[in-house]
């Protein structure tokens, strides 16, 4: 993964380089462009309910929608959607293939307020071992910390990239870093090659924390100091610290509740004094009285306190409110007592009393477990993985609109359930709030959760083209062209005398193991007073690029209206070839007339290479979703490497989306431009589609020469009514938050 790159463009047309500007010369919109329409948005709210059915510790397979009943409050709901996510199936091995509601999500949460620094070192190593050895490729992992001074901090968003998780763990405990991450969604922290330095730096930082008595330890690592404080003052401070913790975790739960699916919070902590919840009646509690010793508070009515004997009502209420928020957010705490994970096996004397009791309370209150060693953790998480390997995702649509933010309880029943079968599912859902009411972190998690899992969706119509070109340095230069429908993008536009529409574009390339090899973020500020007519009539087309090594990728593209929250998610398979291995033919490209789109491009960044889309020494813009008419010849550009000498010919085959042959069509090679030693060979050609019913198809082109086949490649296109515009994915409101 290369250094992340992002930028902002606050102009109507963006910044265009000279070669590209020639290809983007504005012209009058074509009739086809004027006629473009996309599917509209919908106000229907769909509630997804992931359900796991377990018997004797094993998932129950083979159930159908007819086996379940879902209730919203007391009213039975019709199940409108049903699918099975079996993580044991071979297809689930590909990280991006599993719907988010059925993905396992683990948040590694490190409590710095109620932990000794050396125990945090041991916890970090145990977490790294868990991620490397215990979790599966499709599992999403996030990293967070909690401290008294800064509250909960999201270090890394939920990602399938194990290298980024390792980087987050390496830098755990650093009090200062290199600045804000270049990735706004916090899915990428650092490029490869930095790990060793970060690990050494993080280790030095944590060891320094363990030895220091300075401001950081006094402020954040409270546990050792609380054990040595005057008990009366210490208990008051502990209650305040517990109140702060419960409020922070309640806020964190509400944030995580916006994400679909169950969240397993692996909570590394030594816990707070459990007697705050249960009291210590019947024990001999001493308050230090200086050199003269102390007095027994249980025998001195003047010093005895009700909450010390029977527990603090306030602390009990604070903890219960926190646990209720976690349950509502479908979060399960798997508590790990880090006292047993101390670096080097060291055990600190005078550890806080009852820390395990408070951890057990938090775990049991959310349906989790308490683990007291790294061996317990590995075995326990293995059992969790087994129980959660199969998920039934049920969907229903509430009949009446709910008040924004209202919490609704749900119940799931299994008809004819076998004796001993247990169901695990979320206890309810929050009615969606309007996008402008979400805070920045909620918007961040909404975008990152969409990008890291799930099928194509959204109410904004869009289409994506990505094509790899050979470049110096061993990485392919991959242009990414995104076409965005104007009317659906403008839905919910900002109002006012000088409205500016913020448009966010995120592109992430995930390899087969789920690692993010490169990403692109761009924020556009569209001055609607100047560009709204052009956007509404034609649409927006964005030109960016990625830099990738050879391999197979899933390119996940999210376009979001920053005012309304409307979005488009597209998932595009991409093969980056080994250009030195033999003949390579890129996907067929269909040049389109100038002036069809309002064009903009990324801010200059990364390697600068010559503009790749050229034919007869002239630049062109290829269509991301070619729209063809039956029997009408259109220009076709074929680009390849190592195609061999001499003249070349091409053959076409048209396939349906399920791979069946639909016709041949005709391809004529008109001219060949040799790329010399390192540049590509460019073939100017023409393609005539055969007689086809309206719909979506795949064009497969095979090029051959004097030495035989020089390669084959494919690209999608549409015909007839389906070609009116790039598609909006199945329109749907964001699922109701958990």
Residue 54 scores a pLDDT above 50: yes
**Reported confidence tier of residue 525, pLDDT bands at 50, 70, 90:** very high
Least confident window among 112-121, 146-155, 292-301: 292-301
Residue 206 scores a pLDDT above 90: no
DSSP codes, 179-222: SS-S-TTSS----TT-HHHHHHHHHHHHHHHHH--SHHHHHT--
pLDDT for 90:
64
Please list the residues that pair with 526 across neighbouring strands.
501
Burial of 615 (0-12, 13-18, 19+ CB in 10 A): buried
How far, in Å, CA of 563 to CA of 576, rounded?
35
Q: Are 642 and 582 in contact (CB under 8 A)?
A: yes
pLDDT tens digits, residue range 643-675? 888 888 999 999 999 889 998 888 999 999 887
Least confident window among 53-67, 174-188, 422-436, 606-620: 174-188
Q: Are 368 and 334 in contact (CB under 8 A)?
A: yes
pLDDT tens digits, residue range 591-606? 998 888 999 999 887 7
Structure-token pair, residue 568? 């488009």
How far, in Å, CA of 263 to CA of 53, rounded?
17
pLDDT tens digits, residue range 696-717? 999 999 999 877 777 899 999 9
pLDDT tens digits, residue range 127-145? 988 888 888 877 899 999 9
Give me the helix-helix angle, 195-211 and 117-129, nearest 10°. 150
Mean pLDDT for the stretch of residues 678-699: 91
Instruction: Give the pTM.
Output: 0.82
Q: Are 352 and 271 in contact (CB under 8 A)?
A: yes
pLDDT for 718:
93
How far, in Å, CA of 370 to CA of 332, rounded?
11
Top pLDDT among 381 and 24 is at 381
pLDDT tens digits, residue range 68-100? 999 999 999 999 999 898 887 765 445 455 667
pLDDT for 622:
96
How far, in Å, CA of 454 to CA of 114, rounded?
37
Highest mean pLDDT among 43-47, 170-174, 460-464, 469-473: 460-464
pLDDT for 709:
74
Distances in Å between the Cα of 102 and the Cα atoms of 109, 262, 340 are 22, 8, 33
Residue 8 scores a pLDDT above 50: no
Q: Are 518 and 2 in contact (CB under 8 A)?
A: yes
Backbone phi, psi, residue 282, to 5°: 90, -5
**Reported confidence tier of residue 247, pLDDT bands at 50, 70, 90:** very high
Top pLDDT among 321 and 33 is at 321
Closest CA to 334 of 372, 368, 385: 368
Mean pLDDT for the stretch of residues 423-440: 89
Reported as half-sphere exposure (CB side, CA atoms, 13 A), residue 318 has a value of: 20
Q: Are strands 390-396 and 708-719 parallel, antiparallel or unpaired?
A: unpaired
Mean pLDDT for the stretch of residues 454-470: 92
Alpha helices, H only, 523-603: 528-537
Residue 263 scores a pLDDT above 60: yes
Mean pLDDT for the stretch of residues 627-650: 89
Residue 519 scores a pLDDT above 90: yes
Instruction: Quote the percentage of the chain above a pLDDT of 90.
Output: 45
**Reported confidence tier of residue 621, pLDDT bands at 50, 70, 90:** very high
pLDDT tens digits, residue range 351-383? 445 688 899 999 999 999 999 876 777 778 888
DSSP 646: S
Distances in Å between the Cα of 181 and the Cα atoms of 3, 6, 157, 188 are 10, 10, 12, 7
Mean pLDDT for the stretch of residues 412-441: 88
**Reported confidence tier of residue 726, pLDDT bands at 50, 70, 90:** low
Instruction: Quote the percentage of the chain above a pLDDT of 70.
Output: 76
pLDDT for 51:
94
Residue 11 scores a pLDDT above 50: no
Place of tokens 């979506």: 696
Q: What is the 3-state secondary structure (H, E, C) of 216-238?
A: HHHHCCCHHHHHHCCHHHHHHHH
Residue 628 scores a pLDDT above 60: yes
Q: Are 168 and 190 in contact (CB under 8 A)?
A: no
Residue 20 scores a pLDDT above 60: no
Q: Are 698 and 714 in contact (CB under 8 A)?
A: yes
pLDDT for 87:
82
pLDDT for 572:
93
pLDDT for 171:
81
Residue 10 scores a pLDDT above 90: no
pLDDT for 517:
94
Least confident window among 160-174, 323-337, 360-374: 160-174
Top pLDDT among 534 and 283 is at 534
Closest CA to 149 of 113, 118, 108: 113
Top pLDDT among 3 and 612 is at 612
Residue 286 scores a pLDDT above 60: no
How far, in Å, CA of 46 to CA of 396, rounded?
6
How far, in Å, CA of 112 to CA of 344, rounded?
19
pLDDT for 34:
29
How far, in Å, CA of 663 to CA of 654, rounded?
5
On average, the pLDDT of the chain sits at: 79
Q: Are 603 and 544 in contact (CB under 8 A)?
A: no
Domains of the chain (ranges; CATH) run 5-41+459-724 (2.60.40.770), 47-99+391-436 (no CATH), 105-387 (3.40.50.410)
């Amino acid at each position: 993964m290369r250094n992340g790159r992002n930028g902002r463009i606050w102009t109507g047309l963006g910044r265009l380089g000279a070669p590209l500007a020639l290809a983007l010369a504005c012209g009058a919109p074509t009739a086809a462009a004027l006629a473009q329409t996309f599917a509209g948005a919908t106000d229907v709210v769909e509630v997804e309910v992931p359900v796991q059915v377990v018997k004797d510790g094993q998932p129950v397979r083979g159930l159908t929608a007819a086996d379940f009943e879902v209730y919203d409050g007391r009213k039975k709901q019709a199940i409108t959607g049903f699918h099975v996510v079996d993580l044991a199936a071979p297809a689930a091995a590909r990280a991006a293939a599993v719907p988010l509601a059925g993905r396992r999500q683990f948040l590694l949460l490190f409590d710095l307020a109620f932990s000794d620094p050396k125990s945090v070192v041991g916890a970090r190593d145990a977490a790294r071992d868990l991620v490397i050895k215990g979790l599966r490729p499709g599992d999403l992992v996030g990293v967070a910390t909690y401290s008294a001074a800064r509250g909960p901090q999201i270090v890394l968003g939920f990602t399938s990239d194990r290298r980024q998780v390792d980087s987050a763990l390496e830098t755990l405990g650093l009090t200062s870093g290199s600045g804000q991450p270049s990735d706004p969604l916090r899915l990428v922290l650092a490029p490869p090659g930095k790990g060793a330095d970060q690990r050494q730096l993080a280790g030095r930082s944590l060891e320094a924390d363990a030895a220091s008595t300075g401001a950081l330890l006094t402020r954040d690592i409270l546990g050792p100091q609380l054990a040595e404080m005057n008990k009366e003052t210490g208990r008051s401070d502990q209650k305040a610290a517990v109140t702060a913790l419960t409020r922070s975790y309640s806020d964190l739960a509400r944030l995580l509740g916006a994400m679909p699916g169950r969240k397993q919070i692996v909570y590394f902590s030594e816990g707070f004094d459990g007697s705050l919840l249960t009291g210590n009646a019947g024990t001999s509690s001493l308050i230090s009285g200086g050199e003269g010793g102390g007095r027994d508070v249980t025998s001195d009515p003047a010093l005895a306190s009700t909450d010390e004997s029977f527990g603090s009502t306030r602390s009990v209420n604070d903890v219960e409110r926190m646990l209720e928020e976690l349950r509502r957010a479908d979060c399960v705490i798997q508590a790990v007592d880090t006292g047993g994970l101390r670096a080097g096996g060291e055990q600190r004397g005078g550890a806080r009393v009852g820390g395990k009791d408070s951890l057990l309370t938090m775990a049991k209150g959310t349906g989790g477990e308490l683990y007291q060693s790294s061996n317990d953790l590995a075995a326990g998480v293995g059992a969790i993985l087994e129980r959660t390997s199969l998920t039934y995702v049920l969907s229903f649509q509430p009949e009446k609109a709910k008040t924004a933010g209202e919490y609704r309880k749900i119940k799931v029943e299994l008809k004819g359930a076998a004796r001993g079968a247990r169901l695990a599912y979320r206890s309810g859902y929050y009615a969606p709030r309007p996008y402008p009411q979400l805070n920045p972190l909620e918007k961040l998690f909404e975008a990152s959760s969409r990008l890291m899992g799930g099928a194509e969706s959204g109410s904004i119509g869009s289409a994506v083209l990505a094509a790899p070109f050979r470049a110096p340095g061993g990485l392919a230069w991959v242009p990414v062209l995104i076409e965005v429908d104007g009317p659906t993008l403008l839905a919910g536009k900002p109002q006012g005398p000088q409205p500016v529409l913020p448009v966010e574009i995120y592109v992430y390339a995930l390899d087969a193991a789920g690692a993010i090899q490169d990403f692109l973020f761009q924020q556009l500020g569209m001055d609607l007073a100047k560009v709204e007519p052009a956007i509404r009539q034609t649409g927006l087309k964005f030109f960016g690029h990625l830099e990738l090594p050879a391999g197979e990728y899933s390119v996940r593209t999210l376009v979001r209206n920053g005012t309304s929250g409307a979005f488009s998610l597209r998932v595009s398979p991409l093969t980056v070839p080994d250009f030195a291995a033999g003949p390579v033919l890129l996907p067929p490209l269909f040049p389109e007339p100038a002036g069809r789109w309002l064009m903009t491009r990324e801010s200059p960044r990364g390697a600068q290479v010559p503009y790749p889309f050229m034919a007869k020494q002239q630049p062109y813009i290829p269509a991301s979703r070619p729209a063809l008419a039956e029997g009408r010849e259109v220009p076709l550009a074929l680009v390849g490497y190592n195609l061999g000498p001499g003249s070349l010919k091409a053959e076409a085959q048209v396939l349906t989306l399920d791979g069946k042959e639909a016709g041949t069509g005709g391809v004529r090679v008109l001219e060949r431009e040799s790329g010399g030693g390192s540049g590509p060979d460019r073939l100017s050609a023409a393609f005539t589609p055969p007689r086809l019913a309206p719909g979506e198809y795949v064009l497969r082109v095979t090029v051959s020469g004097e030495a035989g086949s020089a390669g084959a490649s494919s690209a999608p296109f549409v015909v007839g009514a389906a070609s009116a515009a790039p598609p909006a994915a199945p329109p749907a409101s964001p699922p109701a938050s958990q």
